Structure 1
Amino acid sequence: MSLPPLADLPASLEPLGERLLADLRDPSLDDPARDSALAGWPEARWQALRRVGAASDFVAEQVRRDPAGFIAYASSGALEQPLAPGALRDALVAALEGCDDEDELARRLRRFRNRQQLRIVWRDVTRQADLRETCRDLSDLADACIDQACHWLHGRLVAQLGTPTGGRSGQPQHLVILGMGKLGAGELNLSSDIDLIFGFPEGGETVGARRPMDNQAFFVRLGQRLIKALDTITVDGFVFRVDMRLRPYGSVGGLALSFAALEQYYQDQGRDWERYAMIKARVVGGDREAGRQLLEMLRPFVYRRYLDFSAIEALRTMKQLIQQEVRRKGMADNIKLGAGGIREVEFIAQAFQLIHGGRDLSLQQRPLLKVLDTLEGQGYLPPAVVAELRDGYAFLRYAEHALQAIADRQTQMLPEDAGERARVAFIMGFADWPAFLERLQHWRERIDWHFRQVIADPDEDEAGTEDTVIGAQWLPLWEEAFDQEAVCRQLEEAGFKAPAEAWKRLADLRDGAQVRAMQRLGRERLDAFVPRLLAQVVEHDDPDLALERVLPLVERVARRSAYLVLLSENPGALQRLIMLCASSPWIAEQITRFPLLLDELLNEGRLFSPPQAPELAAELRERLARIPEEDLEQQMEALRHFKLAHSLRVAASEIAGTLPLMKVSDYLTWLAEAILDQVLALAWRHTVARHGTPRRLDGDPCDPDFIIVGYGKVGGLELGHGSDLDLVFIHDGDPQAETDGAKPIDGAQFFTRLGQRIIHLLTTQTTSGALYEVDMRLRPSGAAGLLVSSLAAFGRYQRGEAWTWEHQALVRARVLAGSPRVGTAFEAIRAEVLGRERDEAVLRGEVSEMRAKMRDNLGTRATDAGRAPQAFEAGAPFELKQDAGGIVDIEFMVQYAALAWSRAHPALLRYTDNIRILDGLAAAGLLAEADVHLLQEAYKAYRAVAHRLALQKQPAVVGGEQFHDQRRGVMRLWQALGLA
């Protein structure tokens, strides 16, 4: 956000600005050099000096202490120019050149800091720097001072005490300095403390001195001297106030600990607030490579691999403690800690980071504004909410800087003094204090409202004045306060048709082994959750069914009670869970098998609005890009979670009616294509790393000259829930030429291993299941053929050896992933093979013969595959796919038409899905429009019912009294085409 335009200097502040100008031009000092320099100043600089002098006592004091130095610095143009990256560090290195004692180090550090602080305040007050630049410069200044002081002191201490050396590695050891809080995030404010933690890689002792010293003692002494160099107030002020209380065990803990001790502490004793603090941790000084290793060691403590909704309770507790302290100390006017303050925005962002950051690596970052951008981009928060949080946070940070610019004092309290209020309003661009206060109050109210939506206790009512526990009426039932008769009466009155059975399910859960083995905290969470669950179940049309389907999930996650917290904290998610499970046992089973899917229920808009194909592919690429290339296990888990999550979103959208049948299949097919594209990329990278790159026949390297062809449902864009993939692999490399790697193999072997790797990635069972079942039997020569065919061999087989049923399958074949060049060549072969001249009588006979075999083997025997008269009676089964007049009859007619007529009408081969091929038959006048409409509507109706039955985990069978007109119409057209 941007602040209001610079305000005119109010009359009450004019004397302050004029006094500073007068002091700088002091006529009692006869200084020609000064006068010459000031004469060259532009008017804008004089105006800026007047404004800054009126706003900041700190700047005025620095100017008066060293007017000549200030004039020279300002005349260089430094106040009007932003700094290049690394400029502060380079300037400090130069400033410390030749420094030879600690007192001189302290003096130079403070003078450097004061000069840079003056520049930063100047640019902030005059609006030459925005919030990001100010925070970045302040953080860079702290980094430079910490690191250079540490480097200087380390060298002096080594000369006195020897070099600290690792006991195991024998390598020289250096201090690692972690910056926490705003320093760690690169968001330091104008007068901030710096929170630090000191560590060193390993224990050992110093070498090179007469008396060796333990490494910890060495680094404690180094840490003490570093704090003194930065924190002690001298005649030149201080560099930064240093706070070490975030270290393990706080102020009573060791000042510096080894990596092993730090890891052990956080693993065994780390508390929730320390996880919260460690989100911001960044190496700001010392051994940066070792520091990166330390942060990697501590990452599992900060970011849990599972959804961690217990973190929100910890944040809520922390906020309550802060609010108590605010009330106790009368700090309601504190814009950081008070209601709607800076801390609440930080809590909102960090709640999502702690909960989701273990799985969503995009949340593992420090700067708050970037985290807010990610929350918007990944759909965790709506854009309008993020916009308000971003703008409100920026306003508060600008106000914080205004408060601190006045006297270089660490404060976030609104002033009571009229003069300071006038200064703050002036710096913020407002005409007076009431105008500023009105705007401040607006942002604090908006931030506090959003904070309560995310962090507030769901048991609190809107006013937050009293606790009203959701589902309290069900608590006695769960705690066995009633006898069975009273329990059943309560359940029956609430709408249960079989109350005794419902009560037995609840009792079996409560008394089951899983619950009995729970620890105290988990049991407390379960006891709080079940009444909430019952309160929502009874709102459902069929509470018996809803409870029956949700309780297996509750039992599954009882030992991982963070999921119970998730549902307790998000009543909307619980409501959606009950609705989806009651609507579909398939969904209930999926969520029970993979509870991580509960995450998808949090965002209603995202749940019922799956993304389009380009967004799907981009999202998956982005997820995998954040995982190290060598971490195959995590890549496989990411692929599976992506598939599970988006499959759930499609099923939910289908149940909610936001996606029609054709779109459901489209989305499921796009999902498979996005996954196959990335699976091919992973398999290619792995196989090339092992064996090198294969060659094409012209000698050039393959890149990758390989395609994955989809047949059947995936080829025809008709995937359903749980469909497997019919795939064929084709390459266009030189099968004889060897790869160029350390372990070379010939091209034929390479592509076979590539195909095997793809199948492995798709079918391996991990904790998140398999990606897809894969059927490769449609490849040339079927199960007896090579796993991967060359393009030339595929063409020869299709032209000379393939059966008619294989050409029927080729009608629905299309390239799903891989080389565009090979894909184009495949399309040419497909068009040539399908478009050849055929004897229609022979073709009809072969198609009819294959269909008859399928009916005999797969159709309903009791009704002669749907052809007997009783097949149309109530109670008789009609198998939607295989019985006469069903799905396969329509598919065979379409395939027959494509094979019989595409030579004269090549447009029939443009698409691979039945609906658009039928459109082509109508457009070419080969079938009457009425007949095409009948086939299309019947096909969509059958598939819609089959989809619904799949979500109910039922076979694709309906009663014989259904679909009479459609079935008879399809059978009539089958006869009309001569397919007896």
Structure 2
Amino acid sequence: MKSFKLRQAFVTNRFSVPLPLPSDEATSDKKLVDFIQLCLDRGLTDFEKLLARDHNRDLLRAILSNSPYLSTLAARHPDFLADLLSSSPDNCLLALESELEVLDPRAIDTDSLKQILRLGKAKVALLTGWADLSGTWPLPRITGTLSWFAETSVRLAVDHLIFQAISRGDLEAGENAPSPSWNSGYTVLGMGKLGGRELNYSSDIDLIVLFDQDVVRYTGRKSPGDLFIKITRNLVNIMQDRTADGYVFRTDLRLRPDPGAMPVAISMVAAETYYQSVGLNWERAAMIKARPIAGDIEAGQEFLDRIRGFVWRKHLDYAALEDIYAIKKLIHKHHKHGDITLAGQDIKLGPGGIREIEFYAQIHQLISGGREPALRVAPTCDALNVLVEEGRLAPEDNDILQTAYVYFRTLEHRLQMINDDQTHTIPERPEDIYRVACFMGFETVEDFEKATVAHLEKVHKLFDALLKESHQTPQSQTERVLQFPTDEDYHPETLEIISENGFEDPRGAYDIIQNWLMGRYRACRTERARKILSGLSIHILEAFSQADSPDGALRRFDDFLSKLPSGVQLFSFINAHPWLLELISEIMTSAPSLSEQLARRPLLLDAVLTPDFFESFPDREELEESLAEQLAMALDFQDVLDIVRKWANEQKFQVGVQILRNVVDVRTSGRYLTRIAEVVVCRMLQEVKKEFALKHGVIEGGSFCILAMGKLGGYELTPVSDLDLVFIYDCSKPGGFSDGKKSLSVNHYYARLSQHIINALTAMTGEGRLYEVDMRLRPSGNAGPIAVNLDTFNQYQEGKAWTWEHMALTRARPIAGERHITDAVERTIHNILTNKKRDQDNLLFEVAKMRNRMRQEFKADSLWAVKHTKGGLVDIEFICQYLLLSHGADKPEILSPNILDFLRQAAEHGVISADVAEALSHATNLMQTVQLLLRLCMGSASKSENKPQALVKTLLQRTNTASLEELEEKIRTAQQAVYEIYQEIIETPAKNMIPPAPVTPFGTPVE
């Protein structure tokens, strides 16, 4: 009777694996009889009963028929196999773990350790083989157990060897050290599948051995390097030396930096220097799975933290694709891969195999892992799942890759179980293929071939699609190539293509592109950069041909390229996403100011690839989480400054592009930009306080508040706004000092802390600056202290402040600091704005006087100077601030730092009529929209009458007008309406009154 008539399938992750079949029934029956007799001879009298359980007999027949290696292990350790049959792989693993946990590597000699590890390896091989073939464990449990044993073996061997070095007097032992390796400075990194806890059945283990000279306590006669090289060689010997008991693991040290020149144990300084200077992309990929597994674990983790910037680039790294693609081509060439077949197919390195699935995850990780910490996952299947969560991989494609991965790893294990060979290749002889098919549980080779080839083809199709999407230069719509030969003046076909794309000066455009390809700019000097740019040149023409003036757009792009420090990253980025050229063209033609930002920091374009870039408006909590994720990479305070700037600049650039694309209106953009600034200020306050405390300590009972004013306070920031800030502190022990190494008095402490905060916000680093900070609205202005005590702030506002200072206070609100002080400041502001003692005549007179003074200072005759011109935004602000101060005591419900919110509430509570509120709101929205676009697109040149035609077109679209003349008339009409309202409410009544004596806002004489 044939076996396995009742055989069942088991599920390993995502695909169903049938139980194995014997490839030779007669041989398996004979070997089973012999094996049973062997067990009886060893006194295992119950073995026959154990075979009757479950599918034990059928499984053992399949092993004896297909796997000489497992058959040998079973014959050497029948008692252990009996334990497996009577208990379970889980219980056997627990017993083995217990044995190794109590093993003291200091108490045994090297030969005994080698024997223990080899016997342990035999048991692990037998139990994982049985758990795999029987379907008891899923793939992650199998590979995890193999990885655990490898890690444990290396740890025990290293502790043993370090203890020997201590005993010889070469190293000084750590005081109260929990293990010999603790704080030794010698560390072993597990790489590849060991690092990812994905070790296969007969895998080598890839290690990198390092030592930290700053930690090592060397007491020998030579050098730490000599000692650790010797220890490493002995480690390899313990692991892979073949004895009568076999070996533990073949050990490969070739993943270390420059293995042809570097010793087997490398100082961390040398390794770090190598990675940060000449490290290659394949080494970055290898480091994704690196983790310290033995020796000084803390030193190893600190090293990985130091090279985190090498592995996880701050910017999207599409140049890495070229290297991955080259690696893949080299693998295919070396292994002579052609069509996907069964016989002789390499299921690891061949097309559609394990390596392509791993590369699928690693491509995304290398490109985006620096920006998206969620992608920094070592195990391949976990990484693929994260890609789904991040919207980078369709769930159905993930199912294809995951199912294939489990199938290939299972097949890989079957191939390796046969003779304990490190192989991934399906045999070529028919009888050998048949044995593998049976070992995989297929009844025919045809079924085996159909399943295997189907998985290979599906994976290869997905991987090829990823490479084509991300690597290859897209085909031009015209499928024509620009040619720029050096042996003739102008190539006629190239000139023709340029002309067809609407360029009025084809020769000028020809010269510009030829200069790029001749390497005239820094960004184009490498052959790699020029090669990518050459393939992009026709797409650049096509993109800029859509501009109102293609020639002018190309010249601005040329100016952009001339300012770039390097080009490979950006060109690779655009090469992978050519649609970005359309956006770049729009920025170049419409927004010179944005174009300047992009030239200084071209990798701001990274953010554009965020899936929700064009419609995302994260809330405060989401922004805080996003920034916190980025700051998790910071190694020091300088890193903090750079990371916060990069994050904030990307956020502001995103809003700028959304404004340009008419995705957001002025109100939404103002609130979002304000939200970004608040998150930045709050986080910088935390980071600066932490850094400041390292030297100066903290003030017991002290608290600190940052007060936002102006546009920040009113939720009306633009992409180029300064931050108006006031710093306020409080201390329950005002006469005290800080508790740091360099103690400071309370006043001095908070003054210095405030200056550090300003520096953190304004300092220029390699990532630019965050914001300009304006402190002139603090009590007493520039003459006052940089940080003011809470009591002093209260007293000043109640007794010494001028009317204009209370006007500024209408837009003030705390945005950072401890709760009790921010609440206290809010109470002070509310009390000031609702104080019934306010002198109304003095208020009206001072408001009018201040506005006249500003008109003299900011002479603005152009209607485009929408802030200071008559009827402009300042007039609207003065109207709102006057009304709020005048009516705040009787109607506190109208209090709001935002102009549009105040106007709505003022109308609702009868402070102004609905018609006045509507006129002022309409004018505010119109002029803020114009101001926003002018500042975004033209920066400091926003008052210029010469506006790019593309900007004019954008202004007309956003204001729903047909011509520039119509828009100007619309602005003029709105400003006239505002000025008439200003005259009615403030200017005319103030002129008709007798000037009051100088008093404070609450009527007390000015000192």
| Normalised TM-score (structure 2) | 0.81
Instruction: State the match for 2:466 in structure 1.
Output: 451
Instruction: State the match for 1:496 in structure 2.
Output: 503
1:955 aligns with 2:942: yes
Instruction: State the match for 1:473 in structure 2.
Output: 481
Instruction: State the match for 1:578 in structure 2.
Output: 585
1:635 aligns with 2:621: no
Q: Which amino acid aligns with 2:248?
A: V
Instruction: State the match for 1:652 in structure 2.
Output: 657
Residues in 1 aligned to 2:791 and 2:183: alpha-carbon distance in whole angstroms: 62
Q: Which runs of 5+ in 2 are unaligned?
A: 1-11, 174-181, 946-964, 989-1007
Deviation at 1:671, TM superposition (A): 0.6
Instruction: State the match for 1:192 in structure 2.
Output: 203
1:537 aligns with 2:505: no
Q: 1:694 aligns with which of 691, 699, 702?
A: 699
Q: 2:681 aligns with which of 668, 676, 679?
A: 676
1:832 aligns with 2:831: yes
Contact (CA 8 Å) 2:437, 2:448: kept in 1 or not? Answer: yes
Instruction: State the match for 2:874 in structure 1.
Output: 888
Identity of aligned residues (%): 30
Contact (CA 8 Å) 1:345, 1:451: kept in 2 or not? Answer: no
Deviation at 1:717, TM superposition (A): 0.5
Deviation at 1:189, TM superposition (A): 1.7
Residues in 1 aligned to 2:299 and 2:334: alpha-carbon distance in whole angstroms: 38
Secondary structure, in 3 states, of the residue corresponding to 1:476?
A: coil
Q: Which amino acid aligns with 1:572?
A: W
Residues in 2 aligned to 1:618 and 1:556: alpha-carbon distance in whole angstroms: 34
Instruction: State the match for 1:140 in structure 2.
Output: 148
Contact (CA 8 Å) 1:13, 1:423: kept in 2 or not? Answer: no
Contact (CA 8 Å) 2:709, 2:724: kept in 1 or not? Answer: yes
Residues in 1 aligned to 2:679 and 2:507: alpha-carbon distance in whole angstroms: 48
Instruction: State the match for 1:238 in structure 2.
Output: 247
Change in Cα spacing, 1:11 to 1:325, as seen in structure 2 (3 Å) is closer
Q: Deviations over 1:398-455 (max 9, x none)?
A: 554455456644333456633432442579xx99647744762575155424532455
Instruction: State the match for 2:958 in structure 1.
Output: none
Q: 1:69 aligns with which of 80, 85, 92?
A: 80
Contact (CA 8 Å) 1:306, 1:358: kept in 2 or not? Answer: yes
Instruction: State the match for 1:2 in structure 2.
Output: 13
Residues in 2 aligned to 1:979 and 1:659: alpha-carbon distance in whole angstroms: 36
Deviation at 1:303, TM superposition (A): 5.6
Contact (CA 8 Å) 1:717, 1:913: kept in 2 or not? Answer: yes
| 1:600-619 equivalences in 2 (<5 Å) | 600-603=607-610, 605-606=612-613, 609-619=616-626
Q: Which amino acid aligns with 1:777?
A: R
Give the length in aligned residue pairs: 933
Q: Which amino acid aligns with 2:808?
A: A
Instruction: State the match for 2:563 in structure 1.
Output: 556
Q: 2:349 aligns with which of 330, 337, 353?
A: 337
Instruction: State the match for 1:464 in structure 2.
Output: none
Instruction: State the match for 2:860 in structure 1.
Output: 860
Root-mean-square deviation (CA, aligned residues, Å) is 4.4
Q: Deviations over 1:651-709 (max 9, x none)?
A: 111122222222111111111011001111012112222222213xxxxx33xx22111
Deviation at 1:772, TM superposition (A): 0.6
Contact (CA 8 Å) 2:705, 2:822: kept in 1 or not? Answer: yes
Q: Which amino acid aligns with 1:664?
A: S
Q: Which amino acid aligns with 2:858?
A: L
Contact (CA 8 Å) 1:691, 1:744: kept in 2 or not? Answer: yes
Secondary structure, in 3 states, of the residue corresponding to 2:761?
A: helix
Q: Which amino acid aligns with 2:971?
A: F
Instruction: State the match for 2:884 in structure 1.
Output: 898
| 1:266-665 equivalences in 2 (<5 Å) | 271-288=280-297, 291-292=300-301, 295=304, 308-328=317-337, 333-355=345-367, 366-369=378-381, 371-372=383-384, 393-394=405-406, 396-401=408-413, 403-404=415-416, 408-414=420-426, 417-425=433-441, 433=448, 436-437=451-452, 440-441=455-456, 443-445=458-460, 447-453=462-468, 456-458=471-473, 473-476=481-484, 481-483=488-490, 491-499=498-506, 502-503=509-510, 505-506=512-513, 514-515=521-522, 518-557=525-564, 559-603=566-610, 605-606=612-613, 609-628=616-635, 631-665=636-670
Residues in 2 aligned to 1:565 and 1:350: alpha-carbon distance in whole angstroms: 17
Secondary structure, in 3 states, of the residue corresponding to 2:918?
A: helix
Contact (CA 8 Å) 1:179, 1:197: kept in 2 or not? Answer: yes
Secondary structure, in 3 states, of the residue corresponding to 1:680?
A: helix
Contact (CA 8 Å) 2:360, 2:463: kept in 1 or not? Answer: no
Residues in 2 aligned to 1:158 and 1:781: alpha-carbon distance in whole angstroms: 68
Q: Which runs of 5+ in 1 are unaligned?
A: 462-467, 696-700, 862-875
Contact (CA 8 Å) 1:52, 1:125: kept in 2 or not? Answer: no
Contact (CA 8 Å) 1:244, 1:251: kept in 2 or not? Answer: no
| 1:70-149 equivalences in 2 (<5 Å) | 70-72=81-83, 75=86, 79=90, 88=97, 91=100, 94=103, 99-100=108-109, 102=111, 104-149=112-157
Q: Which amino acid aligns with 1:238?
A: Y
Secondary structure, in 3 states, of the residue corresponding to 1:448?
A: helix
Deviation at 1:291, TM superposition (A): 4.2
| Higher deviation after alignment, 446-455 or 788-797 | 446-455
Residues in 1 aligned to 2:888 and 2:306: alpha-carbon distance in whole angstroms: 63
Contact (CA 8 Å) 2:225, 2:265: kept in 1 or not? Answer: yes
Change in Cα spacing, 1:962 to 1:53, as seen in structure 2 (3 Å) is farther
Q: Which amino acid aligns with 2:557?
A: V
Instruction: State the match for 1:946 in structure 2.
Output: 931
Instruction: State the match for 1:867 in structure 2.
Output: none
Q: Deviations over 1:911-959 (max 9, x none)?
A: 3211221221232233333432332222112111111112220425887
Contact (CA 8 Å) 2:564, 2:600: kept in 1 or not? Answer: no
Q: Which amino acid aligns with 1:951?
A: L
Q: Deviations over 1:76-104 (max 9, x none)?
A: 655358769xx8486166397975453x5
Deviation at 1:149, TM superposition (A): 2.9
Change in Cα spacing, 1:693 to 1:424, as seen in structure 2 (3 Å) is same
Contact (CA 8 Å) 1:890, 1:939: kept in 2 or not? Answer: yes
Change in Cα spacing, 1:499 to 1:249, as seen in structure 2 (3 Å) is closer
Change in Cα spacing, 1:491 to 1:579, as seen in structure 2 (3 Å) is same
Deviation at 1:776, TM superposition (A): 0.9
Deviation at 1:620, TM superposition (A): 0.8
1:919 aligns with 2:904: yes
Residues in 1 aligned to 2:844 and 2:731: alpha-carbon distance in whole angstroms: 38
Q: Deviations over 1:775-825 (max 9, x none)?
A: 111111111112112222222222222222222221111121112222222
Residues in 2 aligned to 1:390 and 1:625: alpha-carbon distance in whole angstroms: 30
Contact (CA 8 Å) 1:89, 1:141: kept in 2 or not? Answer: no
Deviation at 1:65, TM superposition (A): 3.1
Contact (CA 8 Å) 2:471, 2:575: kept in 1 or not? Answer: no
Residues in 2 aligned to 1:686 and 1:201: alpha-carbon distance in whole angstroms: 26
Q: Which amino acid aligns with 1:614?
A: E
Deviation at 1:322, TM superposition (A): 1.1
Contact (CA 8 Å) 2:332, 2:349: kept in 1 or not? Answer: yes
| 1:958-973 equivalences in 2 (<5 Å) | 960-973=968-981
Deviation at 1:771, TM superposition (A): 0.9
Residues in 2 aligned to 1:269 and 1:688: alpha-carbon distance in whole angstroms: 37
| Higher deviation after alignment, 190-199 or 226-235 | 226-235
Secondary structure, in 3 states, of the residue corresponding to 1:638?
A: helix
Contact (CA 8 Å) 1:186, 1:367: kept in 2 or not? Answer: yes
Deviation at 1:829, TM superposition (A): 1.4
Instruction: State the match for 1:868 in structure 2.
Output: none
Instruction: State the match for 2:917 in structure 1.
Output: 932
Deviation at 1:593, TM superposition (A): 1.1
Residues in 2 aligned to 1:575 and 1:556: alpha-carbon distance in whole angstroms: 20
Residues in 1 aligned to 2:685 and 2:39: alpha-carbon distance in whole angstroms: 81
| 1:5-24 equivalences in 2 (<5 Å) | 7=18
Instruction: State the match for 1:726 in structure 2.
Output: 724
Change in Cα spacing, 1:709 to 1:19, as seen in structure 2 (3 Å) is farther
Instruction: State the match for 1:179 in structure 2.
Output: 190
Q: Which amino acid aligns with 2:618?
A: P
Secondary structure, in 3 states, of the residue corresponding to 1:962?
A: helix
Residues in 1 aligned to 2:752 and 2:531: alpha-carbon distance in whole angstroms: 52
